[in-house]
Amino acid sequence: MYNAEKKSIEVQDLDYDLKTKNVLLKTAKWLFNKRIINEMKKYTSIDLSQYYDTASKALNGWLNREWTKGISGTGAVTELKLTSLYALPEHLLIRSNCVGKLSVVVSEVNLKF
């Protein structure tokens, strides 16, 4: 689940099952169940705020350069928003939208094919 306020991905409804015949371990699970789950939640959250900064810098770098001979752009991304998140076996697929300003300057175009 994506938490927009914290800009993080978190596992929701975390639970575990302890399969053991040991009475002492079963009692410990019963006594410390909430604490164990809270401790596990610390390791099931990914902070994405640094990725927002990296993505914004990369986008701004791409916008403010010459794309091809005679065509260049200037602009800046002002807002970056995550729209969807898919957990795949090998990686996370993250889709996003951005808002900003872009100016394109065309100084030379070769129209010969």
Across 79-99, b (16+ Cβ under 10 Å) vs e yields ebebeeeeeeeeeeeeeeeee
List, for residues 47-70, the tens digit of each pLDDT value: 888 888 899 999 999 999 998 888
Write down the domain spans for the chain: 1-47, 49-113
Residue 92: band (very low, low, confident or very high) from pLDDT cuts 50, 70, 90? confident
Sheet holding 8-10, edge to edge: 2-3, 8-10, 45-47
List, for residues 18-45, the tens digit of each pLDDT value: 676 766 666 766 666 677 777 777 778 8
Q: Which helix (H) or strand (E) holds 76?
A: strand 71-87
- The whole-angstrom separation of Cα 46 and Cα 49 is 9
The candidate with the shortest Cα–Cα distance to 37, out of 6, 11, 19, is 11
